[in-house]
Amino acid sequence: MEEKTAFEKKPIISLGGSVGGGRRKTLSTPVRYVINAVLVAAFIAIGELMIDGGAITRYQTSVLEQVGIYVIMAVSLNIATGYLGQLPLGHAGFMSVGGYSCAIFIMRMSDVMGVGARDFVTGTPAAMALFVCGLAFGGVCAAICGVIIGIPALRLKGDYLAIITLGFAEIIRVIMLNIDGVLGFDLTGGAKGLTGIPSYTSFVNTFVIVSISLFLIHTMMKSRHGRAILAIRDNEIAAEASGVHTTYYKTLAFVVSAFFAGIAGGLYAGCIGVMAPAKFGFMKSIEVLVMVVLGGMGSMLGSVVSATVLTVLPEALRAFADYRMVVYAVVLIIVMIFRPQGFMGTYDFSLTGVVEKLMNGSLPWKRESAEEVDVDA
């Protein structure tokens, strides 16, 4: 019997289990990644061409950037709510920590490195390096806060966890509001906010970060760590009895969720140009939670769709200034009445899964035809 060497090339299309008497064709993992990467690159390239050509205005570009930011926020919160099964209400606090940390880091280091506002627009290597380091710094600061609050808070469940995380977010807001007076110099700008933030957030880098974030979260949830987190959600006692370190994995999910909220906060600071504590109150956390619930708890695609809809809808209704929030609320109520499990429930779309179905001919209308033949027979 010949042994397979480590250097043996894997086929692009492999044959799996039998389907309808034949062998099922599946795509190899590298091909799956290539397909998704090509589609993401095409989306970003088309969007950038439309922006450069004037088909998309600066205002619309800003809305698209905010869509990407809230997609990261919703998907990151979905880790703690949909996948872990907890109810944290302090996500706005992590966003503010990441936003302030990233903005302050970039503003301070810009002077040291000699990077100007124009460099972020043109995308010089020094500006891009500073942008990446700033986002990473903001994410790490938010993750540290996640560790600090997560270890004691995750001993609680349900309403109690919601209350303690809500209190944490309020503590963060008050600290950002008053820390300048304690330190004796300007750091966060106090009540008037942190101004003069360079416009380092753009359509391209926003959706590159969105794509990387979704890929990393998806990969984590498909790994053994993700399976452990899902096991805790389904039955924490059974998971612990099976050898799952529940405290570790609950803290891990909470910290990862906080990290990506910090990344979103860093992008948000560069998008709006001003960071003020009032922007990160209780309603910001509720707004993100609504996106997760509306999209479907535990569905990444649902979070993406709901974040897009709930970010674009208020802007699309801006012409009805007096009634737009009423319409917005009515839409939410209707969806919750007729679709309480959210847009997608727990369903997650897979493009490569559709491609594999096309390769194997297992299409819905073909299945219906086969069933009709069986009935006739």
101 with 64: CB under 8 angstroms? no
Whether 250 maps to a domain, the answer reads yes
Q: Which two tokens stand for residue 184?
A: 């004796």
Is residue 375 very low, low, confident or very high in pLDDT (cuts 50, 70, 90)?
Answer: very low
Q: What is the pLDDT of residues 52-88, one digit of tens each?
A: 898 999 999 999 999 999 999 999 999 999 898 888 8
Angle of CA points 14, 19, 23, to nearest 5°: 35
**How much is the pLDDT for 252?**
93
Whether 216 maps to a domain, the answer reads yes
Whether 74 maps to a domain, the answer reads yes
User: How many independent structural domains does the chain possess?
Assistant: 1
Is residue 373 very low, low, confident or very high in pLDDT (cuts 50, 70, 90)?
Answer: very low
Closest CA to 187 of 101, 111, 256: 101
Find the domain containing 258 and state its range: 51-294
Over 324-342, what HEC string results?
HHHHHHHHHHHHHHHCCCC
**How much is the pLDDT for 361?**
67
Q: What is the pLDDT of residues 233-243, one digit of tens each?
A: 988 899 989 89
Whether 375 maps to a domain, the answer reads no
Is residue 1 very low, low, confident or very high in pLDDT (cuts 50, 70, 90)?
Answer: very low
Whether 69 maps to a domain, the answer reads yes
Whether 105 maps to a domain, the answer reads yes
| Residues 238, 244: Cα–Cα separation, whole Å | 9
Name the DSSP letter for residue 194. Answer: B
Q: What is the pLDDT of residues 178-230, one digit of tens each?
A: 888 888 888 888 888 898 899 999 999 999 999 999 999 999 998 999 999 99
99 with 145: CB under 8 angstroms? no
Whether 214 maps to a domain, the answer reads yes
pLDDT at 374 over 80: no
Whether 199 maps to a domain, the answer reads yes
Closest CA to 112 of 126, 98, 97: 126
Is residue 7 very low, low, confident or very high in pLDDT (cuts 50, 70, 90)?
Answer: very low
Place of tokens 């099964």: 85
Is residue 334 very low, low, confident or very high in pLDDT (cuts 50, 70, 90)?
Answer: confident
For residue 22, the Cα-to-chain-centroid distance in whole angstroms is: 39
